[in-house]
Each structure stands twice: as structure tokens, then as C-alpha cells.
Chains A and B, each alone.
Chain A
Amino acid sequence: MAIINLKKGEVQAKIVYYGPGRGGKTTNLEYIYRKFHDRIKTEMVTIKTHGDRTLFFDFLPIEIGKIKGFDIRIQLYTVPGQVKYDATRRLVLRGVDGVVFVADSLAVRRKENILSLKNLADNLATYKKSLFDVPMVLQYNKRDLQEEGIPLLSLEALEKDLNTRLKAPSFEASALKGPNVVQTMKRIIVMTIDSLRRDLT
């Protein structure tokens, strides 16, 4: 749940990067942190486990600054993608204001993408929310691997599998190399802030 303090003029929103394990959620945040560390002036917190996987979550706060008297703060989180950490995912989703679903474009990961989106829906349901209530952006990650001759899911297949009903904005991206990582983040921040604004009015 966003923290909105009209008296103090503060808005704090929580955005969660969700998706299957090894899909690139942490890499998204790492890219943002690496590239813009000097500007956002905050530290990224990450807890990794055996094999370099996310154990609990990653956390990157971003200070947007004052806009029309409101101090805007965004908190970016990732969840651990592996199936066994469902309880942690559910906890991280508590009070979420916006979601980036990072899908893995590798052809072999098709089933994992679908299962992860379903898992997101199930976990949101525990907070009495649905995929359609929360601002969401889809990111089809690892598109750069196309050049390596690695079999990828087509954009059409990804849209059909994940976005037929959602109709959420989607970006093809490479979290490792950068294309559309920032665009994805900017889009979800704007959508989330806009959604909070509409809730208030």
C-alpha cells in the first residue's frame, strides 16, 4: 500500500518486479543501479544465495524529488523467482502498488512464464487484489539472445500466453545490456503514480 501523507506532502509507492527464476528481475535493478547510481543517490540492497540467486528480495529505493509540493519516493523490489520461495514472494507483494512482470524469452521457459503469472494472480488474490487491479507492465527479457541463435519465444507467442486478457503495456528488453530497462521502469512508475492519483480523487 502506498504511503501518502498529504500533510507532509509525501508519496511513497512500492513496485515489485515479478517473474520466473533466472528471468532477469535482479538484473533489471542492477542495471538501473549501475547506470544511475550517481543520480538516484541511494543504495541497492540485495541478498543472494547459493548459486547467485535471489534469496529474499532485492530493494532499490529511488528518490524522484519534489513535484508540485509532493516528495515522491519509489521503492523497487524483486521477488525470488524459484518456485519454493512462494511465502517470500507473497510477503514482498504485500502492499504492492505496481508490478513489472519480467518474462523470460527463452523458448524453454514458456511454461515457467505462464506458471509464474498464475502464481502472481494467486498471491495477489490473498490480498484481495487481481491482476487487473494493479498497474502492470510486461517485460519480455533476453531479446538480445536472438542474435546468438538461441531459440526464443516470438513476441506474438509471449503476448498470446501472457497478455491476451491483461492488455498491459509490454516491452521487449535486455536487462543485461540495457535496452528498454529504463523505459519499463519509467512506464510502471508513471502508471503507478497515476493510479494513486486517481484513487485519491
Chain B
Amino acid sequence: MTEDFKSQVESRLDDLFHEDEESMDSMDRFGGVGDHPLKGLKAILLSIEWEITDSSMESLINELKTLEDFYKDDKLILTFLRLLNSIARYIKVRRGKAHPNATSLLTSVYNGLERVSLSEGMSRKEKENILLQEVDKFKKLKEEVIRRKKEQEEEETKQSAAVALEEAAGRLTEEPTQPDLSSMTTQELVLYALEEIKEVIREEFGALRAEMKAWRESR
């Protein structure tokens, strides 16, 4: 391999990756929010760390509040901002446990808002369509969050029922230690039987509670 080899690699790369390349000079072609009122919101959204902190989410919610006042007469923009607010509050509360799509929905709703706010000549109908798409995504996420929560609770119920069963099974296997009933006095037998009945009643109530909980959640 020689220097010629290097130049041939360069030439092949130029062939493979030509025309679509963009230099930094082309950067000024990119639109931006400039001095638009959304500038602060975009800056916060872009600066939010992967580790979502209370302060970054607080800044986001405060900025949204300011913008809601600013756009109080524009119902369309206001709806975008309220969607963002709901998602931001959800993420703030749930943090690491928030649904994985929540942060991407935050970005998606913002992008919709930016398109609607910055696109000159966009008809009201087009703007409403963009908003409706984001509202749909929001509804889907909400349903997904509720579904996941329900699944989690069901899983917990199942797990606690399984633990109860295991404990019961454990007791049963441990209880070949059943006492020699024939050697018991009548009084001892009654006391033993009472304990057994109490244990059965406890287990029955436990199972009933679990069943009622599952039934309530399925409604």
C-alpha cells in the first residue's frame, strides 16, 4: 500500500459521500427561532440534561407559564403550551420512572409548536392538523401510561398472591410436623382445631381481598 492508496481511498470516499455534504457555511441557511418568544423555551428544552433535574424541569414549567400568559389570546398556541406543560409536569413527578416516550413527545410537541409559530403563510387548517396530530400522540401516551400502571399493579397483585401461595405451600411442606393428634387431650385438640380454623379464615380473607382488588381494577 502506498500514498497512492491513500489518495484512492479519499477519492472513493468523495464518490460515496458527495453532494449531500454540507459545510458550516451552509449553517446560516437553517432556520431558527432567533428573537422569537419561543427562544427561551427552545433553549431550555435543548439544555435539559439526560438526568432530569428538578431545577431544569422547574425552569421549563416557569417558561411555559410565561408563554401561556403571552399567548393567552391565541387558543391554538395555548393548547400546544398546555400539552407541553402536562408532559413536563408528568416527567417532573415521575422522573426516571416516566414513560420512555414522554421526553420524545415533549420534543415532538415543541417541534409542532415551532412549525406553527414560524411558518409564514401556513393556513389555519394546516396549523390545526399539526396540533391534532400532537394531541393524538399525547392521548396515546396517556393511554399507554394508564395501561402500564394497571399492568404493574396487576403484576404486584400476582406477585403478592404468589408469595402468599409459596408461604402456604411452605407451611404445608413444613408441616409434616403435624402433631400426633392421638396423644392430645380433648382440650389440646380443640385448641389445635381452633388455630387451624383461624389460619384457614385468614387465608380465605387474604385471597378474597386480592380477588376484590383485581376485580375493582379490571372495571
Contacts and interface: CB of A to CB of B under 8 A. Distances in A.
Interface of A: 21-22, 32, 35-36, 39-40, 49-53, 62, 64-65, 67-68, 70, 72, 82, 106, 108, 143-145, 147-150, 172-174, 177-180, 182-183, 185-186, 189-190, 193-194, 197, 200-201
Given A64-B16, A147-B28, A193-B9, 4 more contacts: A53-B50, A179-B26, A182-B17, A200-B1
B103 interface: yes
A64 B9 contact: yes
A6 B13 CA distance: 22
Contacts of A143: 24, 27
A174 B27 CA distance: 9
A73 to B, nearest CB: 12
Contacts of A39: 16-17
A36 B1 contact: no
A186 B20 contact: no
Interface centre among B13, B14, B32, B43 (most CB of A within 10 A): B13
Interface in B104-139: 104
A177 B26 CA distance: 10
Contact of B46 (A49, A145, A180): A145
Interface residues of B, number: 37
The 9 closest A-B pairs by CB, nearest first: A197-B1, A147-B32, A178-B22, A179-B22, A186-B13, A182-B21, A50-B100, A182-B17, A179-B24
Given A39-B16, A82-B50, A144 B10 contact: no
B6 interface: yes
A165 to B, nearest CB: 25
Nearest to B38: A148
A52 B1 contact: no
Contacts of B24: 143, 172-174, 179-180
A54 to B, nearest CB: 11
Contacts of A53: 50
Given A149-B39, A177-B22, A179-B23, A190 B17 contact: no
A67 B9 contact: yes
A186 B9 CA distance: 9
A190 B14 CA distance: 11
B215 interface: no
A147 B30 contact: yes
A149 B12 contact: no
Contacts of A194: 6
Contacts of A189: 9, 13
B9 A22 contact: no
Contact of A180 (B1, B8, B13, B23): B23
B208 interface: no
B218 interface: no
21 contacts: A50-B100, A52-B104, A62-B16, A64-B13, A67-B5, A67-B8, A144-B32, A147-B27, A147-B30, A147-B34, A148-B39, A148-B46, A150-B43, A150-B47, A174-B24, A174-B30, A177-B27, A179-B26, A186-B17, A189-B13, A190-B9
